């Protein structure tokens, strides 16, 4: 009797195991519903402002179809037949957004259901940086290599636009023609200024870039009555070590042998750690700063944990109070999404026409663009020093202070 009961128990256990195994196989499909079913991986898809696609998946055991009335994205595929197991990938490809946030919906029809999926694309307004006037203007002399530079990012790549400029103030003799250009994702619009100015003084340029949804901008420059005098010029030509992050190529460390990757510094802090003999040899005696590091032909300012700055020597070559012009080149360290705010502080006398400049981000880690920044300083004195600081890491070169010639 006992043996029979044991055999029956064993038989029941085997039957339960077989039933469980069959159940696992059966329910290995993407649904536990034996009838018609449909599943979607998402009920909302977020897209960035570019034409980069987004995806979601569909799983069903029959025919499915997607419909939408939106005109700013396409869907592929728009229909299919599911086998109840495979998750089929659906791709949503938008056009680049050049305006405000866009929202719409598409609908998945399957298994007698009509399921909505929300689609949202972030705003794509073009971002303009602070415009600058590049070059110097002197009364009675031809304007050579002069242009208005407007940095931008988040543009629609490969599109053609026309920038227009109007002048007020002492612009007699100058001409700024309409300027047609083709956009990259980010870059600078460099609008030529030509002619021979007939008067000295301040000229104001009002700029319309032609980019969609972009605001108008203004920039000022001074037309000198005579020759400008260079008070300070530093091009960091004595700095040769470290990786060349501007061109994104490797360099050498101080030993002249060890390779420095593009983002490797060539020194310790130039002003706070290196000794005076180093600064004398690199011709930066009289300069000061913090978190400044040697690179080939320029300095990298700041670290990941602390911002950097550099301060000029006093303008002791002057003998009286007068207006001066600061120009320098700078490049962002970070990616396109990271705009770095540069700030200008004047000590010892003088008032700058701008105190901040928004340095545009890089197109990519390996692709940076130098921007030329101009700051007009009124009533500078022989004791004036100029501090240039960054809200994040940046590169700096060709710092020059001149008189206006007025």
HEC string of the chain equals CHHHHHHHHHHHHHHHHHHHHHHHHHCCCCCCCCCCCEEECCCEEEECCCCCCEEEEEEECCEEEEECCCCCEEEECCEEECCCCCCEEEEEEECCCCCCCEEEEEEEEECCEEEEEEEEECCCCCEECCCEEECCEECCCCCCCCEEEEEEECCCCCCEEEEEEEEEECCCCEECCCEEEECCCEEEEEEECEECCCCCEEEEEEEECCCCCCCCEEEEEEEECCCCCEEEEECCCCCCCEEECCCCEEEECCCCCCEECCCCCCCCCCCCCCCHHHHHHCCCCCCEEECEEEECCEEEECCCCCCCEEECCCCCCCCCCEEEEEEEEEEECCCCCCCEEEEEEEECCCEECCCEEEECCCCECCECCCEEEEEEEEEECCCCEEEEEECCCEEEEEEEEEECCC
Band of pLDDT at residue 8, cut at 50, 70 and 90: very low
What pLDDT is recorded for position 87?
A: 95
Percentage of the chain beyond pLDDT 70 is 91
Mean pLDDT of the chain: 89
> Any idea which of 9-23, 310-324, 365-379 has the lowest mean pLDDT?
9-23
Band of pLDDT at residue 20, cut at 50, 70 and 90: very low
Q: Measured over all CA atoms, what is the biggest interatomic distance in the chain, rounded to whole angstroms?
A: 124
Report the predicted TM-score, pTM, of the whole model to 2 decimal places.
0.53
Evaluate whether 401 touches 318 at the Cβ level (below 8 Å): no
What pLDDT is recorded for position 34?
A: 57
Structure tokens at 268: 């310790």
Contacts with 6 (C-beta within 8 Å, 6 or more apart), sequence order = none
- 38-121: CATH, from 2.60.40.10, 3.30.1490.100, 3.40.50.1110, 2.60.120.620: 2.60.40.10
pLDDT at 173 over 80: yes
The fold for domain 230-403 equals Jelly Rolls (2.60.120)
Portions of the chain given CATH number 2.60.40.10:
38-121, 127-224
Of 190, 299, 285, nearest in space to 236 by CA: 299
> Any idea which of 12-21, 141-150, 218-227, 322-331 has the lowest mean pLDDT?
12-21
> Any idea which of 11-20, 64-73, 105-114 has the lowest mean pLDDT?
11-20
107 Cα distance to chain centroid? 36
Band of pLDDT at residue 3, cut at 50, 70 and 90: very low
pLDDT 10s digits, 86-113: 999 999 999 989 889 999 999 999 999 9
Give dist(CA 402, CA 226) in Å, integer.
Answer: 12
Q: 127-224: what CATH class?
A: mainly beta
Q: What is the mean pLDDT of residues 76-95?
A: 95
Band of pLDDT at residue 288, cut at 50, 70 and 90: very high
pLDDT at 6 over 60: no
The CA–CA distances, whole Å, from 185 to 95, 137, 147, 368 equal 14, 31, 21, 12
Give dist(CA 310, CA 388) in Å, integer.
Answer: 5
pLDDT at 27 over 70: no
Give dist(CA 293, CA 238) in Å, integer.
Answer: 13
Portions of the chain given CATH number 2.60.120.260:
230-403
pLDDT at 75 over 90: yes
What pLDDT is recorded for position 19?
A: 42
Q: What is the mean pLDDT of residues 196-205?
A: 91
């Amino acid at each position: 009797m006992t043996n029979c009961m044991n055999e029956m128990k064993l038989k029941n256990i085997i039957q339960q195991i077989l039933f469980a195994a069959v159940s696992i196989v059966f329910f290995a499909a993407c649904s536990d519903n034996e009838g018609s079913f449909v599943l979607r991986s998402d009920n909302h898809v977020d897209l960035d402002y570019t034409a980069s696609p987004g995806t979601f998946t569909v799983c069903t055991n029959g025919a499915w179809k997607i419909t939408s009335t939106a005109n700013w994205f396409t869907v592929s595929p728009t229909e299919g037949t599911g086998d109840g197991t495979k998750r089929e990938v659906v791709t949503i490809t938008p056009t680049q957004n050049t305006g405000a946030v866009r929202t719409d919906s598409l609908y998945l029809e399957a298994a007698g259901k009509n399921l909505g999926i929300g689609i949202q694309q972030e705003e794509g307004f073009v971002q303009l940086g602070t415009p600058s006037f590049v070059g110097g203007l002197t009364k009675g002399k031809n304007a050579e290599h002069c242009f208005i530079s407007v940095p931008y990012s988040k543009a629609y790549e490969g599109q053609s636009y026309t920038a227009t400029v109007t002048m007020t103030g002492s612009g007699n003799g100058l001409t700024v023609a309409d300027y047609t250009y083709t956009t990259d994702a980010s870059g600078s619009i460099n609008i030529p200024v030509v002619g021979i100015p007939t008067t000295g003084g301040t000229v104001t340029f009002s700029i319309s870039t032609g980019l969609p949804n972009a605001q108008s901008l203004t920039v000022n420059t001074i037309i000198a009555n005579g020759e400008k005098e260079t008070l300070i010029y530093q091009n960091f030509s004595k700095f040769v070590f470290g990786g060349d992050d501007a061109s994104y190529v490797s360099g050498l460390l101080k030993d002249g042998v060890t390779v420095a990757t593009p983002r490797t510094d060539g020194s310790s802090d130039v002003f706070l750690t290196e000794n005076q003999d180093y600064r004398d040899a690199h011709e930066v005696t009289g300069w000061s700063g913090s978190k400044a590091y040697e690179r080939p032909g320029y300095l990298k300012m700041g670290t990941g944990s602390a911002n950097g700055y550099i301060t000029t020597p006093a303008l002791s070559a002057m003998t009286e109070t007068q207006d001066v012009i600061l120009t320098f080149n700078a490049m962002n360290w970070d990616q396109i999404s990271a705009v770095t705010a540069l700030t200008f502080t004047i000590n010892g006398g003088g008032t700058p026409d701008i105190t901040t400049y928004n340095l545009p981000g890089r197109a990519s880690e390996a692709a940076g663009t130098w921007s030329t920044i101009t700051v007009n300083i009124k009533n500078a004195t022989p004791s004036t020093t100029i501090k240039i600081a960054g809200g994040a890491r940046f590169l700096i070169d060709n710092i020059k202070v001149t008189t206006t010639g007025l």
